């Protein structure tokens, strides 16, 4: 079975993340949507909240499992016997960092491949940070995130 991991903070999961996961699920037999418990970033949602929101947003994809982690992604890849790490690219500006990360991951875990996927054109401008900012000003984020994510953002930023 060929497995892949799509790691990230996902604070919160956006329709762009869902689009990347849908694409990855068509390429791999099993995919893990890996929500990072990154203590160096101040997240709006807890790792448990982010994982629950991801489960709702990804429920329609049968070969996806949402997991959380607090380790190197290469350690998680070993744990789940993943052959690839999925990374989404929205713009050329994303590539430099992602290219360095892919090289570093191969140094740590020889044989791991990084697969870069791009979202639909209409989702290339969507980022978690922009969604959070729009929501903080009580803007409508419903076209950028799953309905349950939009509701969760409203509870974080009450009117």
Reading the block at residue 57, the tokens are: 């947003």
pLDDT, average across residues 113-133 = 94
- Is residue 90 annotated as a catalytic residue, yes or no? yes
Residues facing residue 67 across a β-bridge: 34
pTM: 0.94
Per annotation, catalytic residue among 17, 23, 87, 132: 17
Reading the block at residue 53, the tokens are: 């929101």
- Is residue 42 annotated as a catalytic residue, yes or no? no
The domain that holds 18 is classified in CATH as 3.40.50.620
For the stretch 64-83, pLDDT in tens is: 999 999 999 999 999 999 99
Quick check: 105 pLDDT over 80? yes
- Is residue 23 annotated as a catalytic residue, yes or no? no
How far is Cα 51 from Cα 10, in angstroms, rounded to an integer? 9
Total domains present in the chain: 1
Per annotation, catalytic residue among 55, 78, 90, 106: 90
Q: Dihedral of CA 141/146/151/156: which sign? A: negative
How far is Cα 42 from Cα 156, in angstroms, rounded to an integer? 14
Quick check: 41 pLDDT over 90? no
**What was the pLDDT predicted at 64?**
98
Q: Which domain holds residue 58?
A: 3-156
How far is Cα 31 from Cα 82, in angstroms, rounded to an integer? 8
80 to each of 35, 64, 106, 142, how far by Cα in Å? 14, 13, 16, 33
Per annotation, catalytic residue among 23, 25, 50, 128: 128
For the stretch 92-102, pLDDT in tens is: 777 889 999 99
Per annotation, catalytic residue among 40, 41, 60, 62: 41
Quick check: 127 pLDDT over 80? yes
Do 110 and 131 meet the contact criterion of CB atoms below 8 Å apart?
no
**What was the pLDDT predicted at 141?**
97
Q: Dihedral of CA 16/63/72/44: which sign? A: positive
């Amino acid at each position: 079975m060929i497995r892949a991991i799509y790691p990230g903070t996902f604070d919160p999961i956006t329709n762009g993340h869902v689009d990347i996961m849908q694409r990855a699920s068509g390429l791999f037999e099993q995919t893990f949507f890996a929500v990072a418990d990154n203590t160096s970033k101040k997240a709006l949602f807890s790792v448990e909240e982010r994982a629950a929101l991801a489960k709702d947003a990804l429920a329609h994809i049968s070969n996806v499992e949402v997991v959380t982690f607090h380790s190197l992604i290469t350690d998680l890849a070993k744990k789940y016997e993943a052959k690839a790490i999925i990374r989404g690219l929205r713009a050329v500006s994303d590539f430099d960092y992602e290219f360095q990360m892919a090289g570093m991951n191969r140094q740590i875990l020889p044989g791991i491949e990084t697969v870069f996927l791009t979202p639909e054109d209409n989702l290339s401008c969507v980022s978690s940070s922009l969604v959070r900012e729009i929501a903080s000003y009580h803007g409508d984020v419903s076209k950028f995130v799953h309905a349950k994510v939009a509701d969760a953002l409203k509870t974080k930023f009450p009117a």
